[in-house]
């Protein structure tokens, strides 16, 4: 999945794996962050984020072989708290947790 | 794979499948474009583009289970010519071809 942020000069695009995504409640996504320094620098200036993710393994609209989503949200980095501890236990390599609040989600196909 | 463009207000992120990518020579990528209207509107203002793509099916650095790339390039849309005809034959659904000239490619993992 892609994570696009902007705020310092040009946009920055980072990536992680679909399988690393953890959902919480209706509109919270948690992503383990190992590096993501440029993403963090953008978020410090502008917390808006665009995510995209897709897989061929889930059927899309009208029986299409694959589906994909674009998500608009806001982001913050967590370095402590319940979500951080839970994610750290699951992904020991993380240095922080990227928490996304989903504002808009669109299934693309 | 993700296609990030910017030039009008906020960045726009579009997606396509890795399997749709066609390479030409050392630094040209061709992508079939069915919709991609927002991408085209950005490119008209600023032809810079950031692509990301990844797969679990190819081994990355140090035997890692998966690899991914970030590509910086410039883009233009083709609606005629040799590349267009070749892509149209392969992807009948396209309305135009997004041609990327790769300026910088980084293997992320």
Give per-residue pLDDT as tens, B83-93. Answer: 999 999 999 99
Yes or no, beta carbons of B13 and A54 under 8 Å apart: no
- Per-residue pLDDT averaged across B21-33, rounded? 97
d(Cα A80, Cα A93) in Å, to the nearest integer? Answer: 15
| Per-residue b or e along A29-55, where b marks 16 or more CB atoms closer than 10 Å to that residue's CB | bbbbbeebeebbebbeeebbbbbbbbe
Q: Which residue of A has its CA nearest to B50?
A: A13
Q: Please give, rounded to a whole number of angstroms, the shortest distance from the CA of A63 to a CA of chain B.
A: 17
Q: CA torsion, points B40, B42, B45, B46, in degrees to nearest 10?
A: -110
* Distance (Å) of CA A18 to CA A1, A67, A103, B55: 6, 13, 19, 11
Give per-residue pLDDT as tens, B39-71. Answer: 999 999 999 999 999 999 999 999 999 999 999
> Which residues of chain A lie closer than 8 angstroms to B13, CB-CB?
2, 4, 13, 50, 52, 70
d(Cα B6, Cα B39) in Å, to the nearest integer? Answer: 8
Q: What is the pTM of this model?
A: 0.96
Which position has the token pair 């490119």? Answer: B43
- Percent of chain A surpassing pLDDT 90: 98
Q: Please give, rounded to a whole number of angstroms, the shortest distance from the CA of A2 to a CA of chain B.
A: 7
Yes or no, beta carbons of B15 and A48 under 8 Å apart: no
Band of residue B16 on the pLDDT scale cut at 50, 70, 90: very high
pLDDT for position A75: 98
Which of A6, A10, A13 lies at the smallest CB-CB distance from B70?
A13
Q: What ipTM did this prediction achieve?
A: 0.95
Give per-residue pLDDT as tens, A41-66. Answer: 999 999 999 999 999 999 999 999 99
């Amino acid at each position: 999945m892609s994570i696009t942020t902007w705020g310092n000069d040009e946009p920055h695009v980072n990536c992680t794996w679909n399988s690393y995504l953890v959902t919480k409640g209706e509109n919270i996504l948690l992503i383990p962050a190992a590096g993501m320094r440029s993403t963090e620098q953008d978020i410090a200036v502008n917390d808006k984020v665009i995510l995209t993710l897709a897989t061929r393994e889930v059927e899309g609209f009208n029986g299409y072989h694959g589906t994909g989503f674009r998500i608009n949200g806001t982001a913050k980095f967590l370095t402590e708290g319940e979500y951080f501890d839970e994610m750290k236990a699951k992904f020991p390599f993380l240095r922080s947790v990227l928490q996304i609040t989903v504002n808009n989600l669109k299934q693309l196909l």
